[in-house]
Amino acid sequence: MIKVMLKDGSSKEFNEGIAIKEVAESISAGLARVALAGEVDGEVKDLNYKLEKDCKLNLLTWDDEGGKRAYRHTTSHIMAQAVKRLYPNVKLAIGPSIDNGFYYDFDTDKPFSVEELEAIEKEMAKIIKEDYPLERFTLPRDEAIRYMEERNEPYKVELIRDLPEGEEISFYKQGEFVDLCAGPHLPSTGKVKAFKLLSVAGAYWRGDEKNKMLQRIYGTAFSKKSELDEYLLRLEEAKKRDHRKLGKELDLFDILEEGPGFPFFMPKGMVLRNVLEEYWREEHRKRGYQEIKTPIILNEDLWHRSGHWDHYKENMYFTKIDEGNFAIKPMNCPGGMLVYKRRLHSYRDLPQRMAELGLVHRHELSGALHGLMRVRCFTQDDAHIFMTPDQIRDEVLAVIELIDDFYKVFGFKYHVELSTRPENSMGSDEDWEMATDALKNALEAKNMDYKVNEGDGAFYGPKIDFHLEDSLGRTWQCGTIQLDFQMPERFDLTYVGADGEKHRPVMIHRVVFGSIERFIAILTEHFAGAFPVWLSPVQVKILALVEKHHPYVLELKRAMEEKGIRVEVDLRNEKIGYKIREAQMEKVPYMLVIGDQETENRTVAVRSRKEGQLGSMKVEEFISKVLDEIKSKAM
C-alpha cells in the first residue's frame, strides 16, 4: 500500500501502481470528469501515470496552470496530426503549450494560407470526434532514432541525439500519429472542447537564424466555447489597440525599412516621451537621485570585467576605434560603476542614488522584433544605488514605494515575482543567500504577495520583477529591483567606514518603466491611443467654423499656450463635421468649436472625448479645468 497526500491536507491509502485517474474516481465522480492531469510531488503527470510510492498529489483541472498546459499541449498534437494527414510530406519540429495557447513548427515548402488553416481546423475537429486515446511509450536511444528515421522526421532525430545519456525517451501515440514528447497530455483527443487556429509566422529552427526557416502555426484552446469566444473578442480588441497601428495613425512613432528594430519618434511621439521623462526626473529628484549620463560606446575590456562578455556577448554590437576593440553598451550598469569609482567615498556619503536614462543596443533576431515592444535600441530608466549592508532593507523598500507610486499614476494594477539564482551565475552561495533573503524580507515587510521563480534571477543577483496588468488583462514585466554583491567586487568599489577601513558597498540595479519605448507601447495599447490629458501630445484642438473666426481662434491658442497647454488649431476651409470627426480620430481630449456666438461672447463650446458635449464655458473656466486635470494627472 502507498499513502497519497491530497491537496486538502487529507491522505488516503491505495494499492501500489494505481493510476492518477483511478484516485480521482475514488474521491469523486465529478472530480474525475474535470481532472486533466495530476501534479505528483510538484511534477505534472498524465492521468494514466501510475503511483508507485508515497507522494503528494494535486489533481489539476482547468483552473490550474498545469491543467491548462496539458490541455493545450494535447491540442498542439491534434493540430500536428491534422497537418500530417493533409500534408504527409511536412516534417515535424516542436509543438509546446504557451501562455494562452500553443504552437507547432513545421518544415514545409511554402507558407500555410488562411484557407489551409481552415482545412486544418476541420481535420482537427474530426480527430477530436474520433476520440483517440493518448498512449505513452518509451524506447532506448538507438531504437528511438531508428523509429524517427523510418518515419522521415529529421528534426525529431536531432532532438533525440541531443538528449543527455540516460534520459528517458518517451513518445505519445494517438491513432496513426506518433510524436516524440515528454508530456503530459489529456487521456484522449475527445477531451478538447474548444479551439481556434490564430495565425502563421516564420520561425528559425531552434531560434537560430543560421538554421532553416520553419512555419509556425499558433492556436489557442479552452475548456468551453464561451471562454474561447471571450478570448477571441479580447484578441480583436487587442488588434484595434496594436501600438504599431496606432503609432502610425496618431503619428507618434514608426519602424522604417532603413532601420529594422530601430524606432523613429515623430514630433507628437516626442511630446509623449518627453512628458514621461520629465515626470520621471521630477519624481527621482524628490527622492534624492542624481542624474548621470554615460557613453554609448565603451572599451571591450569593461565588458569582460563586468561579466557581461561571458553572459551577453551574443546580444552585443562591436566596433573598432584607434585599433582598439569597443562595444556598444547593451546596458548601463558598467558605466555607473565607473562613475562611482572616480573618487573616494565615505560611509557618510551613502546611499548614493545615480539615475540614468541610458540608450542601449541589443542584437535581436529579426523574427523576434515587434514594434516598440522588442527593438534593437531602447532607453532604460536605470538607477544604481550604492549603499552599506545595513541600508539594504530601507533602500529596497523605498524603491518598491517609488515603483508603486509610478504605476498608480497610470492606473495599473500589478503583481510581483521574486527570481532566485540561475545556474549560469557569479558569486558565492553566502552572497546569494544574503541578497535573496534581503529581497524576501522587504516584500514581507510591505505585506506583498509574491511568486518565486526559481533560477530566473540575473547572473549577478536575485531580483524582484513587477508585472503590470493592462486594460485587457494582459501582463507586462516592466519594473525590476536587482540586488548585487558581484559588480562592486568585480570593479573593486569601496567606501571608508566609520572604522576608517575600506569596505565593499552593496548595490541595487533598478528600473521603473523598464524601457521608455516599451512602456510607451504598453501605454498606447492600455489607453487605445486615447491618452489622459496630461500625457496627450495634443490636449486641446480648436476648430473654426469659418474664416472670420480665425483671429479669435488664434487668440485662444496663444492664451492656452501661455499656460502650458498643448494646442492645435484647424483653420481649414472644411465642414465642421469633417473637422470634428478628424479630431476624434486623433483622440484629442478636448475640442473647442468656435462660431459667431463664441466669438461675440468670448466663450468656448467644449466637446470632451470622454464626456461628450459640455456646452459653453468661459475661457478662464475651461483653462482652469484642463490645468487641474494636468496637475492631478487625472485618468
Q: One of 181, 333, 377, 478 is an active-site residue; which one?
A: 333
Q: Residue holding cell 498545469? A: 66
Going through 470-600 in order, the beta strands assigned E by DSSP cover: 475-484, 495-496, 502-503, 506-511, 540-544, 567-570, 590-594
Phi, psi of 268 (to 5 degrees): -70, -35
Rg of the chain taking only CA atoms, in angstroms: 29
Q: One of 463, 503, 541, 607 is an active-site residue; which one?
A: 463
Neighbour-count burial of 83, counting CB atoms closer than 10 A to its CB (0-12 exposed, 13-18 middle, 19+ buried): buried
* 504, 345 contact by CB (below 8 A): no
Which is it for strands 463-469 and 590-594: parallel, antiparallel or unpaired?
A: unpaired
Rounded to 5°, the CA angle 613-617-623 comes to 105
* 513, 373 contact by CB (below 8 A): no
Question: Is 333 one of the annotated active-site residues of the chain?
Answer: yes
Question: Is 482 one of the annotated active-site residues of the chain?
Answer: no
Q: How far is CA 14 from the centre of its chain?
A: 44
Q: One of 45, 345, 384, 421 is an active-site residue; which one?
A: 384
Is 509 within any annotated ligand binding site?
Answer: yes
Question: Is 181 one of the annotated active-site residues of the chain?
Answer: no
Mutual angle of helices 619-632 and 550-562, in 10-degree steps = 40
Q: One of 329, 509, 579, 607 is an active-site residue; which one?
A: 509
Question: Is 509 one of the annotated active-site residues of the chain?
Answer: yes
Mutual angle of helices 267-286 and 516-526, in 10-degree steps = 110
Output the CA–CA distances (angstroms, integers) from residue 215 to 79, 149, 159, 282, 492, in the order listed: 13, 21, 18, 48, 49
Nearest in space to 90 (alpha carbons), one of 268, 275, 1, 214:
214
C-alpha to C-alpha distance for 45 and 31, rounded to whole angstroms: 16
Which is it for strands 377-387 and 506-511: parallel, antiparallel or unpaired?
A: antiparallel
Is 333 within any annotated ligand binding site?
Answer: yes
Q: Residue holding cell 463664441? A: 598
Q: One of 84, 362, 376, 518 is an active-site residue; which one?
A: 362
In the Cβ-directed half-sphere of 572, how many Cα atoms lie within 13 Å?
Answer: 12
Q: One of 81, 215, 380, 391 is an active-site residue; which one?
A: 380
* 81, 127 contact by CB (below 8 A): yes
3-state SS string for 304-337: HHHCHHHHHHHHCEEEEECCEEEEECCCCHHHHH
Cα dihedral 376, 382, 388, 392, rounded to 10, equals -100
Is 361 within any annotated ligand binding site?
Answer: no
Question: Is 570 one of the annotated active-site residues of the chain?
Answer: no
* 401, 464 contact by CB (below 8 A): no
**Hey, which residues are catalytic here?**
333, 362, 380, 382, 384, 463, 509
Which residues fall in the annotated binding site for Zn(2+)?
333, 384, 509
Which residues fall in the annotated binding site?
333, 384, 509
